[in-house]
Amino acid sequence: MIIRRIAITVLACVMIVFLLPPAGGKVAIAQDETAGISASMNSFYYAPGDLAYLDVEVELTGNARTDDISLEFLLYPSAATRSSLASFREGTRRYVIYRRTLETISPDSEWTDKLYEIDLKRLGLQTGVYPFETRLVRGGEVLSADQNFLVIMDPANGYPLNLSLLWTLDFLPPTDAQGNDLDTGLASACSSSTSQPGFLYSLARVMKKNMEVGTSLVIPRDTYDDLEQLAGAAEDEDGGEEEAGAAEVLATIDTMSDKGEADLIATTFSFADPDVLAARGWEEDASEQMELGLEGAGVAGFVAPLFRLSDAMLQRMVENDMEFTVVGQEALESSAAGRRLLEGTTISQPVRFVNSNGYLLKAFVRDETLYAYLESTPERDASHMVQNIFAELAVLQRERPYAVRSCVLAFPSGFLPSQSFLDELYGAVDACPWLQPRRLSELNNDQFPLEDVALQAPVYPDTPSSYMQRLEEVRGKVEDFTAMIPTDHSLRESLRLSLLVAENYRFTTDKDAAAAQAYLSSIDAVIAGETSQVSIELKRSVTLSSTEGKLSVDVTSSLAYPLEKVTLRLDNASLTFPQGNSMEVTIEPRENRFIFDVDTHRKGSFIVDIMLEADDLLIDSTSITVNTSIINTLAIILLACLAFIVALVIVMRRLLRRYRGGKHSRGRSDK
């Protein structure tokens, strides 16, 4: 036992000795290794023979600083096609034409962002778009890498590429049908905050600063009205950065549009798809969306939601005197002739489309490669995104340098870039000698469509959705309610506009399902709030004096206006109503009484359902018990019995009188 205790004690001491750090030493704590690199050229394009500069930012922390790290630059052959650019972005690498170790970073050296000179003339680089990589390498292991493009262009080599920048201002409504807050997207985009300005505020300022860069804006009329309302609150006491920014945005858009410095391209009133509405028989809504959307249109162009062009949509545009539109690539892919056009080089001329009735319309095709890149790229560094755009534009110009070509750079509606992106893009486009910025209206005037080509406009199948089913129900309620209120009442117009807003494609496609359902519920709530002020007076029961009688129904309205052509209906299968079980009534803003004739056919109690409705809209309902009184029957029986008794008494008196009279007569004769 003693030996065992000694052994345990010795073992514990040995473990303590090994676990304790050396005298004067520190416990080593593992640190996370972080290595990051970002590199871009200090200009988005160069001329042949220029001195180029590579701007490199490096982040090294923790164990990444334990050994020497090499900063390497790898240059690849010029990309001749746009598919080559896409392959490079996706990770495909060709052979290296130039490799250089820019610097060796030792563990104890301090790093600051640096510029490295690259002599294009010495390297013998001709015009082209050169993919490149910068890497952080330690002991043969790549710790981090970044990719980008070096663009070298000669302005004298061909015609400038026409470039049209197209923004779609696609925002959800800020408030619902009741005026409650629904979405803050538009307000945030208008913020004039100095630390974090909103996208729309930044765009307006950049447009104003770079007026030579032609910009086209697709603004739904509903969004423009929301912008006006937000700007109108700028002078209020509670007006803030959003309201002040909205006022500046609105002033810039209006001024530039009036001066012809920016195009306002029309679309439907609330960015609704007329084909979706017409497919459900709502042709009136489809026409109103077009009519209201075209109010105040600055140019003869029209862009449908999602850049779709259908057979019916084409005809609507032509019938409204529109001269051009912008479509997505899917419009071309729907026909064999269109698919043939997509083979080879990028389509850089407008294309004619024809519908089943022979209507023709010119259509510009948005640049699908850039649209897809901006829609899906995880990149958020402004200079990298702008460099990718210029790489694509350079390859596009080099495809056919001596042809008059155009590129419609359409930005996805969900792409809300930073102010630095907008500043860099517009500044670079404005100064670029091989690009010619143009508004869409200018391109429409100057550029002819492809000759001998007329593509068939596609027909899209109707896609049912749960939202559209509920919208149809709410739409029916609105129609029923507005049909019974006075024609000059403001609710008619506000509910009608609310329905049009509810037809926004972001709602109908379930893109914003939560906001869509909330908006429909608010329309329901507006109607329910009005009809709840009309009620049928509750009565437990009514007793008729016989099987036939009159039943009165009292309706009270607290509204400030009458309800016309309302149906008051009684329902019980056992009863009949000689004058009918329903009547069309007007509910005045007070107590109202209505009388029904009723026949129960027999004695008893009957439950009668009472409903006040306007077509399928139920305003109020209740039930009442109708009883037939038994007092009347008893009275008849009692009266009959009483009459019988009275008659019996009379008869008995007469008989008694006769009997007495007979005795007196016999007595006199005996005497």
DSSP characters over 122-145: HHT--SEEEEEEEEEEETTEEEEE
Which residues fall within 8 angstroms of residue 578, CB to CB, at 6 or more apart?
A: 597, 598, 599
Topology annotation, domain 534-629:
Immunoglobulin-like (2.60.40)
Closest CA to 501 of 519, 479, 518: 519
To which residue do tokens 């294309």 refer?
A: 351
- Determine the Cα–Cα distance for residues 549 and 604; give it in Å rounded to an integer: 14
pLDDT over threshold 60, residue 29: no
Q: Do residues 200 and 168 touch, judged by C-beta distance below 8 A?
A: no
Least confident of 237-251, 274-288, 543-557, 621-635: 621-635
pLDDT single digits (tens) 10-25: 444 434 433 444 433 3
Q: How many CA atoms lie within 13 A of 33 on its CB side?
A: 8
List alpha helices for 113-220, DSSP H: 120-123, 185-189, 199-209
Least confident of 63-67, 453-457, 495-499, 590-594: 63-67
DSSP letters for 458-469: P-PPP---HHHH
pLDDT single digits (tens) 378-415: 877 999 999 999 999 999 999 999 999 999 999 999 89
Burial letters for 198-235: b for 16+ Cβ neighbours within 10 Å, e otherwise?
bbbbbbbbbbbebeebbbbbbbbbbbbbbbeebbebbe
pLDDT category at 121 given cuts 50, 70, 90 is: very high
CA distances from 482 to 28, 584, 643 (A): 78, 16, 63
pLDDT over threshold 60, residue 662: no
Tokens, residue 442: 């200018």
To which residue do tokens 């990028």 refer?
A: 346
- In the chain the first and final C-alpha atoms are separated, in Å, by 165
Least confident of 105-119, 361-375, 409-423, 551-565: 105-119
pLDDT single digits (tens) 49-91: 999 999 999 988 776 667 889 999 999 999 999 999 999 999 9
SS3 content of the chain, % helix, strand, coil (to 5): 40, 25, 35
Reported as type and span, the H/E element at residue 369 is: helix 368-376
Closest CA to 78 of 29, 3, 131: 131
pLDDT over threshold 50, residue 306: yes
pLDDT single digits (tens) 269-286: 999 999 999 999 999 999
Domain 34-152 has CATH 2.60.40.10: yes
Q: Do residues 414 and 375 touch, judged by C-beta distance below 8 A?
A: yes
pLDDT category at 663 given cuts 50, 70, 90 is: low
Closest CA to 134 of 109, 111, 108, 115: 115
Which residues fall within 8 angstroms of residue 533, CB to CB, at 6 or more apart?
A: 557, 558, 559
Count CB neighbours of 281 within 10 A. 10
Reported as type and span, the H/E element at residue 19 is: helix 2-19
The residue with greater pLDDT, 669 or 659, is 659
Q: Do residues 605 and 623 touch, judged by C-beta distance below 8 A?
A: no
Domain 161-456 has CATH 2.60.120.10: no
pLDDT over threshold 90, residue 419: yes
